[in-house]
A and B are shown apart, each in its own frame.
Chain A
Amino acid sequence: MTSAAGGPDPHAGFGIGALLGLVNGQQGSAARRRRAEGKPVVPRFAEAAREALADAGARHELAESAAAARERTAAAVSELPDWEALRAAGAAIRDRALLDLDVHLETFEQAVADAGGTVHWARDASAARRIVASLVRDAGDGEVAVADGPVLRETGLAGSLAARGLAVLDASGPEGRDRVRAARVAVTGADFLVADSGTVLLLEADGAARACLTLPETLVCVAGLDRVVPEWEDMEVLLQLLPRAGRGDRLSPQVSAWSGAVPGDGPGEVHVVLVDNGRARILADEVGREALRCIGCGACSAVCPVYERVGERPFDPRGTGRSGPIGAVWTPLARGVDRAPEASLPFASTLCGACADVCPVKIDIPGLLVHLRGEVVDARRHRPVPTPELAVMRGVAWTMADARRFETATGSGARWARLLSRGGRIRRLPGLLGRWTEARDLTAPPAEPFRAWWRRRAPSRRSTK
């Protein structure tokens, strides 16, 4: 299997020589072309991360705020003796909702209608923007108060309303407190939708949403359609999980719950816009659908050692506001892995598992990342020319399919490595593996692998078959 010169067998990918042949840069031709044409390029994770790492001040701040957030959350969680039982219930409540999602959505729609509200349906972000703009125009005088939230950022709502000529007033902004009081129409997000009562719930710290959903004449509430739960009783679990896992509150300072329009109390006209925007696509993935359990607490980001060092941006290449470990699974699930930025996200993790430990609804984020890595690799298998990595990984698998091949490759690798080492240390490798030796030495492999020692030690003893 090994050539006389001791070089690697071209078929046996395990030889280090094959790895050395890998090109370092991983940037695809599409990105190169866009860059050459001077068009904006949506970065891959590694590129955006490198930029973020260069900002030492921001890194320090991130580390401090992440540590503080972890401490608050850990204290809030450890106070509850039944936290694990709550997590198990929370996961099941979300699964129960998702596995009959269409039924619960229709129940919700009917309950809202019975309570005097109207439900609208948006297939994607642009439909959501169109629907909201039209509702706002019909109801108002050209000004709209907006209480920012994850779905609004995901759909780019505030910017789009402004681009359509509406005066957008940020309810959390410096003038928000006084000006929301004069607005005739407001837009908010939503944390939970209760199907059987049509109740919408919003948890927050600063009360901006509470003002928006209480004072204007018309309320437009935009919700991800994943956020439905079957019944009111489910809130006794989620109202404990979300505040404690999120900001580390015993309960969020302000929680609002309302169903439809209430005569004499709050907006007379209430609209709920249910947004799909990739959620049905996530639901169609029988493994990946677990991501839809997410209740948006952000605990996974607070404990992620990668996030702590690079921050939001590298995890959110298209600026949809969903970042951190859950963003690294949600974005590729919702948009597919055909494009390079999405395909890079599942690899933005060491799979250390810290996120899965803290997730209040027990999303197996590392498991989903591995699943998505499989999707990325499978999508690339069909390319006419195999990626260098595919060739290597196939070669390694072929080598490992036979113990003698493995031993031969080990010997060949060791010979290569000894050529590169000084004093038992390899300080510089070419090619892809050069990324390792930029900052880390590599121990030179020993002359005698374990299995050779075992044979030498017990020549008469029969190794088991």
Chain B
Amino acid sequence: MSGRDEVLAGVRGALGERRRADVAVPRGYLTRLTGPDAASRADVVALFTERVAALGVAVRHVGGDELATAVAAVLWGWEAKRIVVPADLPYGWLADLDGVRALADSTVLDVPALAAVDGVVTGCAAAVAQTGTVVLDGGRAQGRRALTLVPDRHLCVVHADQIVGSVPEAVRRLDPDVPQAWISGPPVATPGDGPPHGPRTLEMLVVED
């Protein structure tokens, strides 16, 4: 008997001939954010900002026409010379860069090359107000997973309409077939362990249109 057949036979044997009927899942929990935090879009965005900041993330609100300047200002603050960006990052986001070279990931940089840059700029697929989370799923302006893992600084641009209130709202927006990284603040080292993996500096720009 193969391992597969043996394991499955064990499970079937354990469940026996007569199985219990289907279990109904009582889905009486909240699927949307409620209460004063969700009274308006502005409240949801404000909650996101508060929760992200509580995780040690520098976050600023900018208008759509200020985005390029704000991105340049963050990179200037990092003293960045070379950054990496997903190949499909909107060109306009980087329009105000001065003295910073942006490498597009179209050539698929190897890990040492990613480690050598001063930071990465991406968008996101969704953001969760209640938990202060951004979710990247490899879609537009996000790139592959290594991009937001290896560089030591990550600037994430979040459009206000990407922010949902709760975890269920985000889960329902996302496709489980594509790889996702849910990022809630910078990684946290376990006491006694080595340094954590992933960008130790995480900054966000919330774009209000």
Q: Which residues of A contact B (CB under 8 A)?
A: 81-82, 85-86, 88-89, 92-93, 95-96, 99-102, 105-106, 115, 120-123, 127, 131, 170-177, 180-182, 194, 197, 199, 205-208, 210-211, 214-215, 225, 232-237, 239-240, 249-259, 262, 264-266, 274, 276, 280-281, 283-284, 289
Size band of the interface chain B makes with A? 35 or more
12 extra interchain contacts, Cβ-Cβ under 8 A, other than A96-B23, A250-B133? Answer: A85-B30, A93-B25, A131-B3, A177-B197, A208-B197, A210-B149, A210-B181, A215-B111, A239-B182, A254-B184, A264-B108, A264-B144
A206 to B168, CA, bound (A): 24
Report the minimum CB–CB distance from A201 to chain B (whole Å).
Answer: 9
A276 to B4, CA, bound (A): 10
A89 touches B29 (CB 8 A): yes
Report the minimum CB–CB distance from B148 to chain A (whole Å).
Answer: 9
A255 to B8, CA, bound (A): 29
Residues of B with C-beta under 8 A to A206:
187-190, 193, 196-197
B3 touches A181 (CB 8 A): no
Q: Looking at A194, A280, A281, A284, which has the most chain B CB atoms within 10 Å of its CB?
A: A280
Report the minimum CB–CB distance from B67 to chain A (whole Å).
Answer: 26
B14 touches A281 (CB 8 A): yes
Interface of chain B residues 169 through 204 with chain A (CB within 8 A): 171-172, 176-190, 193-198
Assess A194 versus B11: contact at CB under 8 Å? Given A85-B26, A172-B193: no
Report the minimum CB–CB distance from B168 to chain A (whole Å).
Answer: 4
Residues of A with C-beta under 8 A to B8:
102, 105-106, 121
Query: At the interface, yes or no: B63 with Cβ under 8 Å from chain A?
Result: no
A331 to B27, CA, bound (A): 32
A194 touches B176 (CB 8 A): yes
A170 to B10, CA, bound (A): 33
B182 touches A254 (CB 8 A): yes
A105 to B178, CA, bound (A): 20
A sample of 7 cross-chain residue pairs with beta-carbon separation below 8 angstroms, ordered by A number, consists of: A85-B29, A89-B27, A120-B3, A177-B195, A236-B168, A251-B167, A253-B184
Contact of B128 among A99, A199, A249, A251 (CB under 8 A): A251
Residues of A with C-beta under 8 A to B35:
81
Query: At the interface, yes or no: B146 with Cβ under 8 Å from chain A?
Result: yes
Assess A262 versus B6: contact at CB under 8 Å? Given A207-B149, A215-B146, A253-B184: no
Majority SS at the chain B contact face: loop
Query: Which 8 A-B pairs have CB atoms at the shortest separation, nearest pair first?
Result: A207-B197, A255-B182, A280-B10, A284-B14, A207-B187, A236-B168, A197-B176, A283-B14
Residues of B with C-beta under 8 A to A86:
29
Query: At the interface, yes or no: B7 with Cβ under 8 Å from chain A?
Result: yes
Report the minimum CB–CB distance from A331 to chain B (whole Å).
Answer: 18
Report the minimum CB–CB distance from B189 to chain A (whole Å).
Answer: 5
Report the minimum CB–CB distance from B177 to chain A (whole Å).
Answer: 5
B188 touches A253 (CB 8 A): yes
B171 touches A280 (CB 8 A): no
B176 touches A122 (CB 8 A): no
Contact of A232 among B24, B28, B176 (CB under 8 A): B176
Report the minimum CB–CB distance from B122 to chain A (whole Å).
Answer: 13
